[in-house]
Amino acid sequence: MQDESVPCIAEDKNLSSMSQSCSTNSSVPSGQETNARRDFEEIHFASDINKMGSTSDQSKGTLFTFMSYNILAQDLLQTHPYLYKSCNPKHLEWKFRLDRLASEILAIRPDILCLQEVQQNHIPSILKALSALNFEHIFKKKTGMKTDGCAILYNKNVFDLVEKHTVEYYQPNVRYLDRENVALIAKLCLKQQPSSCFIASTTHLLYNPRRQDVRLAQIQLLLAELDHISFKGFDCQGKIRRLPILLSGDFNLKPHSAPYNLLTQGNLAYHNLTQRTLEPPTDANLATTGHIFLPSELGINDNCQHYDVVSQSYKGQARIQNTDKNRMLDENRDFSNKNPDEKDPHNLFATGQLRHALNLVSVYDHHNRSEATTFQDKWVTVDYIFYSQHFSPSVDSDYDGYLILQSRYSLPSKKDCYKMNLVIPNAYLGSDHLSLAGRFYFQGPKSNGKECVPKDK
């Protein structure tokens, strides 16, 4: 859901060129015809991947399509009708929108579909509309009274669900973590290769443009969960092995913002950034965030890891609250007064800098392109697909297996969006966000799942 009426964008890649139009008010120019198309753009090493994926030898790897889409919960649309006053009322009806959403999704045919703003009582109708894709699903509703949440749908003929994890960003009495947003994480394995697993995850972060600090805290918590869940074990040299990661969703943040930089660069010095907005101060009188961000009592350190988990070689428990199971540890344990030299040799709390080791990159190019995924006062990118990058099958990394991006579903430029002068949802697109998708080559572990654990000293 956005805070303004929004222009329309290009039609689905498998739909013929069409006139896209909608009922407009005086502030939005009337619809006009467009031949713009969205296609899958090949990445430079795709030809080699195709050769590997086309072989009959399953051990060579698997090609699959991953899609992420904020589909606009109907309850939210109806609660804020003024945001969609430029749209034809017919195009805002759920039955009509579902037909348009399903048409686009069925054209792309994802093997994994991550959805945000999924209204819980609409899940049966969504599954029915997408029945041709053989989906199983998992779902996590937002905490509180909201009726929508996040869902992960996966092709049951291709993948098996190994584990499901839900993440609630609302943590009692924790500053910054006082909102009802959630995340959903699935550990999936290939049906024909049970030892070949990876992580698929999705989230919907806080919208409020003025609260970048809240989004950063939500990301820190999510990264700690991904760090924990992706951990697989140790190799013979005692090196950590992780499962490859896909992370998608509506992050409600722009490229190169502070939270985005943490995700893609693996580090962020937050202590000297302004409170709330997390920007470099332009005035000496502006208050900065300081060194203390999340409280140490939560047990998430500045490496974006659960302290109780990593301090016990990944065998401990996390202390955050979660609806699936109670994962709170002894609340009397307090790390806030630790002597760094004696109790915490790494001094990983209140350092003023966040770090993580997941090596995440975006499917889309936010450096050389000016793409858009929705309209929030202006055309912006707030939706993303990130994945753990493995530079080459011949290069060792922490990941047990690897994902390589073969192609991505193109996004229109901001300039093109303005040029069209249309609104969404419309006659052809069923949401106020644009869908994202990537085709990946996945290679499982070389060891076929046989772990080599070093002997105890």
Tell whether the torsion through CA atoms of 319, 320, 321 and 324 is positive or negative.
Answer: negative
The CA distance from 15 to 147, in Å, is: 32
The CA distance from 31 to 243, in Å, is: 47
The CA distance from 256 to 384, in Å, is: 13
Residue pLDDT, tens place only, 107-159: 999 999 999 999 999 999 999 999 999 999 999 999 999 999 999 999 999 99
| pLDDT (0 to 100) of residue 419 | 87
| pLDDT (0 to 100) of residue 233 | 81
Structure tokens at 227: 């760090």
Structure tokens at 399: 């990941």
Can you give the pTM of this predicted structure?
A: 0.85
* pLDDT mean values, one per 10 residues, the chain (457 residues): 40 30 29 56 67 48 95 97 93 98 97 98 98 98 96 98 97 94 98 94 97 98 96 81 96 97 97 95 90 92 89 64 47 42 59 95 90 90 94 61 93 89 87 97 71 40
The CA distance from 125 to 122, in Å, is: 5
Instruction: Give buried/exposed letters for 75-103 (b at 16+ CB in 10 A, else e).
Output: bbbeeeeebbebbbeebbebebbbebbbb
Please enumerate in sequence order all residues whose Cβ is within 8 A of that of 293, keeping only pairs 6 or more positions apart, or say none: 176, 216, 217, 220, 270, 302, 350, 354
- H helices present in 109-191, as ranges: 123-129
Please enumerate in sequence order all residues whose Cβ is within 8 A of that of 196, keeping only pairs 6 or more positions apart, or say none: 62, 189, 190, 401, 442, 443, 444, 445, 449
The single-letter code of the amino acid at 169 is: Y
Say how many C-beta atoms besides its own lie within 10 A of residue 324's C-beta: 11
Structure tokens at 103: 């048409």
Structure tokens at 286: 């502006």
| Topology, domain 18-280+357-443 | Deoxyribonuclease I; Chain A (3.60.10)
Is the peptide bond preceding residue 7 cis, with omega within 30 degrees of 0? no
Q: Where are the domains of the chain?
A: 18-280+357-443
| pLDDT (0 to 100) of residue 8 | 36
Residue pLDDT, tens place only, 193-223: 999 999 999 999 999 999 999 999 999 999 9
Angle, CA 155 vertex, CA 188 and CA 241 arms, to 5°: 15
Pairing of strands 436-443, 360-362: unpaired
The CA distance from 126 to 116, in Å, is: 13
Measure CA of the first residue to CA of the last residue in the chain; give whole Å. Answer: 55
| pLDDT (0 to 100) of residue 367 | 84
| pLDDT (0 to 100) of residue 397 | 64
Phi, psi of 440 (to 5 degrees): -120, 145
Q: Which residue has the tokens 């947003």?
A: 181
The CA distance from 336 to 334, in Å, is: 6
| pLDDT (0 to 100) of residue 219 | 98
The CA distance from 136 to 59, in Å, is: 25
